[in-house]
């Protein structure tokens, strides 16, 4: 053995000399493969590949989840379009044609607590009485489908008293302003004194006065007025009406002929009114802007209004459009999220504060204080007499302070007295609405008409109404099951894919990094433990060069050899033996001999001993 070991270096030296390399004392190292270590390396490679696959799979899942957001949203929007468009084949047609959701009309009537003092010019003291609640039924009829993507219809409205939802019965009597006397005084104030005196005497014989007391159902739905009955008997052609009441022409009737977009040609115009009573604008007010038809009828609007700041509504009762302004997000009792739109106080400012409202002054030289709307021309005349009806928000909300203080007993509260419309943004369906409106009569002292006494000229509150609707459980659950549950499940699926994919990427990447860190640390410790103390003291991280390559006997070299499946490095008499270039007998070409220059320190101190450096 000793001679073999001595001959091997000699043969190497001869090869070096023949190649022209300088004769020096080399350090020869043999890299040997241990077959029993290969399976463990294979396992490590499989683990590495598995982690890479997990990271790639996680990234794909996250990408798919991200792609699903626009794809699913587009699919849902297409489904919504098909369901909400107004057509005989759409799912919402029956709801649109015959509204099944309960609609209630509540009346809060003001009772005069000091009628005799009011006649003498004192400030009225009012007490709110109510609610008197009626169930409202709406049915569309005379439906005509137009070729331009619109539909024309009328809507019949009927009201039925709901005693269980009312504070009192309809028979309760209320003391309030007599609308006939107020109307006659306003319309005939330009007559001569003699004629007015004669008129006043005639009214007195029929017990007509500026203040009267009547049951609620008569005030609302009409009663036979003594004066009108007398005039009708004298001249039935001129005086055709004997009944008078604030809602006498609202029950069992329609409020006009509507033409609206169906949404078939443009879904963003769904429900938008194009014509009212055959015209594309009104002819009541004094400017084109005031006569514009804007918005919907307050039951159905365009879908996908997630960030809309305005939702205008045309209110036929007051013959004008109201610009609904976004207020806040709310929910139905069933938990469906809605966007709330409410009345804009600027709509009720007078022309001095909001010049756009000059068109609502009739005539333009006679503008009312802020908070009031002169609707005389909006009401159908009674036997040729224009009704001096003034609209406002309840309790003169947003009204001029002087108007609010003209009577006692009013407490305007925005949350209770503003008009609100709660719209579901995906479908455009109005699931909650509260249209609140106050009816006032303008009264004033007219000389020579004794019934007006010494009464103050003021806008006298008669009652305010709350026309409201809240989606019931049946239709809320149908909407949830048909739309929101599939949307919810789709959202969960999208988020789950992104979360699971992200976790796989994070966990896989973390394990890969930790594995590399601990592997490097373990190999460093093993290298140190397998070297002799003297060898560890003089081992350096210096390059060893051959004729065509540079190798580093260091952590990086050891790691590289380990990854190539080599189990150990053996040092043997200062030679480097590379199993890839050595044959079975240990013979090698000159390229396998790694030379040390005289400047380099030996890697191993004891070159005559065989040392094995474990790599695994």
pTM (2 decimals)? 0.71
d(CA 590, CA 573): 17
Angle at 553 between CA 547 and CA 554, to 5 degrees: 145
d(CA 52, CA 40): 19
Residue 351 has pLDDT above 60, yes or no: yes
Helices and strands (DSSP H and E) totals, the chain: 14, 23
Residue 298 has pLDDT above 60, yes or no: yes
Q: Among 181-190, 278-287, 381-390, 576-585, which range has the highest average pLDDT?
A: 278-287
Under the banding of pLDDT at 50, 70 and 90, the label for residue 42 is low
Alpha-carbon separation of residue 550 from 20, 543, 553 (angstroms): 20, 7, 10
Residues 506-524, mean pLDDT to the nearest whole number: 70
What is the pLDDT at residue 543?
42
What is the pLDDT at residue 602?
42
- Comparison of pLDDT for 601 and 426, the residue scoring more: 426
What is the pLDDT at residue 489?
65
d(CA 62, CA 59): 5
- Comparison of pLDDT for 532 and 166, the residue scoring more: 166
130-144, 328-342, 501-515: least confident range = 501-515
Each residue's pLDDT tens digit, 105-116: 999 999 999 999
What is the pLDDT at residue 496?
75
What is the pLDDT at residue 202?
86
Each residue's pLDDT tens digit, 88-98: 888 788 888 88
37-46, 83-92, 484-493, 559-568: least confident range = 559-568
HEC assignment per residue over 488-503: HHHHHHHHHHHHHHHH
What is the pLDDT at residue 582?
44
What is the pLDDT at residue 292?
94
Give yes or no for a contact between 102 and 472, defined as CB atoms under 8 angstroms apart.
yes
- Comparison of pLDDT for 400 and 54, the residue scoring more: 400
Residue 597, exposed/middle/buried by CB under 10 A (0-12, 13-18, 19+)? exposed
- Comparison of pLDDT for 79 and 542, the residue scoring more: 79
Each residue's pLDDT tens digit, 244-271: 899 988 888 888 999 999 999 999 999 9
Residues 133-144, mean pLDDT to the nearest whole number: 94
Percentage of the chain lying above the pLDDT 90 cut: 40
What is the pLDDT at residue 242?
86
Give yes or no for a contact between 306 and 275, defined as CB atoms under 8 angstroms apart.
no
Kindly state the helix (H) or strand (E) to which residue 473 belongs, with its residue range. Answer: helix 473-479
CA of residue 474 relative to chain centroid, distance? 23
**Six-digit token pair at 283?**
């002819």
Percentage of the chain lying above the pLDDT 70 cut: 72
d(CA 517, CA 190): 103
Each residue's pLDDT tens digit, 169-182: 999 999 999 999 99
174-178, 414-418, 540-544: least confident range = 540-544
What is the pLDDT at residue 38?
46
CA of residue 145 relative to chain centroid, distance? 32
- Comparison of pLDDT for 62 and 571, the residue scoring more: 62
Residue 104 has pLDDT above 50, yes or no: yes
Kindly state the helix (H) or strand (E) to which residue 128 belongs, with its residue range. Answer: strand 126-145
Average pLDDT of the chain, as a whole number: 78
Alpha-carbon separation of residue 174 from 114, 192, 220, 497 (angstroms): 12, 34, 11, 66
Under the banding of pLDDT at 50, 70 and 90, the label for residue 37 is very low
Instruction: Print burial letters for 412-449: b (CB count within 10 Å at least 16), e (below 16).
Output: beeeebbbbbbbbbbbbbbbbbbbbbbbbbbbeebebb
Under the banding of pLDDT at 50, 70 and 90, the label for residue 53 is confident
Residue 25 has pLDDT above 50, yes or no: no
Under the banding of pLDDT at 50, 70 and 90, the label for residue 144 is very high
Residue 583 has pLDDT above 90, yes or no: no
531 CB neighbour count, 10 Å cutoff: 19
Residue 373 has pLDDT above 50, yes or no: yes
Residue 615 contacts by C-beta under 8 Å, 6 or more apart in sequence? 523, 526, 558, 561, 562, 566, 567, 568, 569
What is the pLDDT at residue 566?
47
70-79, 125-134, 234-243, 543-552: least confident range = 543-552
Under the banding of pLDDT at 50, 70 and 90, the label for residue 377 is confident
């Amino acid at each position: 053995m000793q001679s073999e070991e001595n001959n091997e270096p000699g043969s190497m030296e001869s090869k070096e000399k023949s190649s022209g390399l300088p004769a020096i004392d080399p350090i020869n190292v043999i890299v040997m493969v241990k077959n029993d270590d290969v399976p463990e390396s294979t396992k490590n490679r499989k683990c590495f590949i598995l982690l890479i696959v997990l990271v790639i799979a996680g990234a794909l899942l996250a990408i798919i989840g991200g792609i699903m957001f626009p794809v699913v949203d587009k699919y849902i929007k297409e489904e919504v379009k098909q369901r909400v468009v107004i057509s005989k084949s759409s799912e919402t047609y029956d709801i649109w044609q015959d509204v099944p959701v309960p609609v209630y009309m509540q009346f809060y009537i003001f009772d005069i607590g000091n009628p005799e003092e009011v006649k003498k010019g004192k400030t009225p003291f009012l007490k709110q009485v109510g609610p008197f609640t009626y169930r409202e039924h709406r049915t569309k009829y005379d439906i005509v489908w137009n070729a331009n993507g619109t539909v024309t219809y009328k809507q019949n409205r009927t009201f039925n008293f709901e005693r269980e939802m009312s504070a009192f019965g309809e028979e309760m009597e209320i003391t309030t302003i007599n609308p006939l006397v107020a109307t006659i005084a306003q319309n005939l104030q330009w007559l001569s004194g003699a004629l007015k005196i004669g008129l006043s005497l005639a009214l007195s014989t029929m017990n007509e006065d500026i203040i009267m007391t009547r049951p609620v159902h008569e005030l609302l739905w009409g009663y036979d007025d003594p004066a009108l009955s007398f005039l009708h008997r004298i001249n039935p052609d001129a005086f055709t009406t004997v009944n008078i009441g604030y809602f006498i022409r609202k029950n069992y009737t329609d409020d006009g002929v509507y033409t609206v977009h169906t949404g078939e040609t443009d879904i963003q115009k769904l429900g938008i009114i194009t014509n009212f009573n055959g015209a594309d604008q009104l002819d009541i007010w004094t400017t084109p802007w005031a006569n514009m038809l804007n918005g919907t009828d307050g039951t159905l609007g365009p879908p996908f209004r997630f960030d809309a700041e305005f939702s205008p509504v045309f209110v036929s009762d007051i013959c004008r459009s109201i610009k609904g302004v976004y207020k806040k997000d709310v929910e139905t009792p069933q938990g469906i999220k809605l966007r709330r739109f409410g009345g804009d106080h600027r709509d009720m400012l007078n022309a001095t504060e909001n010049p756009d409202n000059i068109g609502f002054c009739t005539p333009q030289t006679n503008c009312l204080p802020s908070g009031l709307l002169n609707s005389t021309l909006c009401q159908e005349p009674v036997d040729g007499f224009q009704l001096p009806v003034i609209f406002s928000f309840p309790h003169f909300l947003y009204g001029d302070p002087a108007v609010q203080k003209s009577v006692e007993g009013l407490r305007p509260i925005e949350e209770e007295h503003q008009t609100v419309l709660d719209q579901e943004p995906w479908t455009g369906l109005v699931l909650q609405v509260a249209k609140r409106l106050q009816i006032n009569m303008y009264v004033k002292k007219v000389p020579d008409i004794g019934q007006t006494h010494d009464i103050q000229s003021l806008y006298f509150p008669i009652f305010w109404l709350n026309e409201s609707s809240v989606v019931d459980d049946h239709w809320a659950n149908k909407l949830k099951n048909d739309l929101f549950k599939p949307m919810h499940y789709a959202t969960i699926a999208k988020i789950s894919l992104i979360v699971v994919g992200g976790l796989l990427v994070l966990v896989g990447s973390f394990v890969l990094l930790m594995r590399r860190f601990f592997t490097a640390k373990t190999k460093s410790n093993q290298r140190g433990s397998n070297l002799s103390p003297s060898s560890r003291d003089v081992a350096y991280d210096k390059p060893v060069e051959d004729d065509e390559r540079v190798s580093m006997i260091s952590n990086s070299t050891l790691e590289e050899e380990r990854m190539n499946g080599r189990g150990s490095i053996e040092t043997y008499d200062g030679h480097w033996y590379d199993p890839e270039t050595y044959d079975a007998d240990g013979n090698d070409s000159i390229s396998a001999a790694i030379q040390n220059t005289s400047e380099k320190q030996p890697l191993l101190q004891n070159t005559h001993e065989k040392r094995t450096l474990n790599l695994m």
